[in-house]
Amino acid sequence: MATLPPPPSKRQKREALEKSSLQTDLTSTIPDGTIRTRFVDQATGSSDTLPVLTVPLSQATTKNLEILLNELKEQSDDRIPYRFYPDGSAEALGDKEDVYNSLVKTGRVSAESEVVLQYAPQAVFRVKAVSRCSAAVSGHGDNILAVQFSPKNSARMASGSGDKTVRIWDCDTGTPAFTLKGHSKWVLAVSYSPDGSLLASGGYDNEVRIWDPETGKQVGGPLKGHTNFITSLSWEPYHLQEPGRPRVASSSKDGTVRVWDAIGGRVDFALSGHKSSVTCVKWGGTGWIYTSSHDKTIKVWNAETGTLVHTLSGHAHWVNHLALSTDFVLRTSYHDHTRKIPPTPEEKLAKAKSRFEKAAIINGEIVERLATASEDCTIFLWTPLSTSKPVTRMTGHQKQINQVCFSPDGTLLASAAWDNHVKLWSARDGKFLFTLRAHVGPVYMASFSADSRLLASCSKDTTLKVWDMRTGKLKEDLPGHKDQVFALDWSPDGERVGSGGADKQVRIWRG
């Protein structure tokens, strides 16, 4: 029989308690002294009218700095949470960290010099990291190639598959709500309209179909005109739509983009000018349409007249994907974290417009950034509203890049590539921040949480990963799929992540 050691005596317990309390006191002691602190806006790179302050070291915690910055910006009544980046650092100070222990004690800054803290506003709500699979639903008979949540809430998600159907899932119960039949070949793209009232799908049969997601019925006939398969779909932003006449743009391998009247079932105009397959289309909030192509160029079009505004050149190979810094607010229109829907059409329009302007205005002018990802292993960052020259060229990926996406707050850019890595960049100047390493196969897609604090990615290695954007570290590893995962979406309300792939199963993940 094993001999158990005797329990500690009262004296031993008392000594251990004294020792532990003494040690915590020692580590938490911050010496007297002050440090000069300058706050710089991360989005603009300037400190505006904010003074350089002398802050006591004992008070220089992240929480206190946040209170101080809100007081200086005269918004103490409606406080905004901020994240602080020591100058030149990609990693922000933690919520419970302080300047002395993080920067001075480690030798990163001297207590005699001035510390520059770049600040970035955070979402006032917080999304939980998804950590478990709440539903694994079979039903599709072939690879799942596209998934997207409704902008209204995470209760509904659409998926497009190689079995020629689109399915709408009830994510609360993990059951299929509708099976939408009509396509005669693989469905490659699905897209909800910004108000959530319509769903568009397109695929290998060269047709775009419009559905009512509430009833599962098709709206009108198929939209025919393309002579090759549909590669992507993008809806007209809600605040630009004519009442009762929503429009959707479809890009195709036939080298054209067509703009459709979704209800009327007619083509408004076709954008032709690319010399090869069009890979991606995005409809911007200022009324411009952006298209990328295998002809190595990106074209910018006026959505009112259908005329070409710019051709953006620079990539040395096919351009695979593009993303706008305003994608999230354009996708969700008047739906936000408060879940309050304006009662009248006029108020819905005003809210959608103000959300777009809030996301796009920097220093008093509208700036819509565009990121383009290519087979040449590089990403370009553009501001097409002001110039046709790129802001910067981002290099670092070793293989071609599948997808790029901006964080909802417009401060970060993530890129997913065939080199098994996701890379994270500053959306302001394209500065490299982190490489997210954990996947052991090509990464197909990435999707940010609504509060921009987390990122999910899916890969050929059959897993999803969730990453912490403050540190660039892995937060959750989500195995479960039995084959490669092609499609991924984080719901706009932050509640769920949906994924699908070669195992023909839709999986819903929750926190």
- For position 469, what pLDDT does the model report? 85
Q: Where in the chain is the domain with CATH 2.130.10.10?
A: 132-510
For residue 397, the one-letter residue type is H
Contact 409, 123 (CB under 8 A): yes
Q: Whose CA is closest to 52, among 72, 37, 65, 35?
A: 37
d(CA 449, CA 455): 6
Give the residue from 415, 463, 413, 455 showing the smallest Cα distance to 438. 463
Cα(288)–Cα(282) distance, integer angstroms: 9
- Residue 355 phi/psi, 5° resolution? -65, -40
pLDDT at 21: 52
Helix (H, G, I), strand (E, B) or coil at 63: helix
DSSP per-residue codes, 178-243:
EEEE--SS-EEEEEE-TTSS-EEEEETTS-EEEEETTTTEE-SS-B---SS-EEEEEEPPGGGSBT
Taking the CA atoms of the chain, what radius of gyration do you get in angstroms? 25
Q: Across 131-174, where does the E strand assignment appear?
A: 132-137, 144-149, 156-161, 165-170
The per-residue pLDDT for 83 is 79
pLDDT along the chain (511 residues), means of 10: 71 73 51 81 74 81 82 74 77 76 77 80 78 84 90 89 90 88 90 90 90 88 89 90 88 90 86 88 90 90 86 88 90 84 86 86 83 89 86 88 90 90 87 88 91 90 88 87 91 89 89 77
Q: How far apart are CA 331 and CA 150, in angstroms?
A: 9
* Class of the domain covering 132-510: mainly beta
Given the structure tokens 């964080």, which residue do they identify? 407
pLDDT at 23: 43
Say if residues 270 and 256 touch (Cβ distance below 8 Å).
Answer: yes
pLDDT at residue 448 in the model: 92
Structure tokens at 328: 């999230």
Q: What is the pLDDT of residue 453?
A: 87
Helices (H) and strands (E) in the chain, counts: 5, 38
H or E segment and range at residue 366 = strand 365-366
CA distance 469 to 390: 26
Q: What is the pLDDT of residue 3?
A: 62
Instruction: Report residue 27 as tokens.
Output: 């580590």
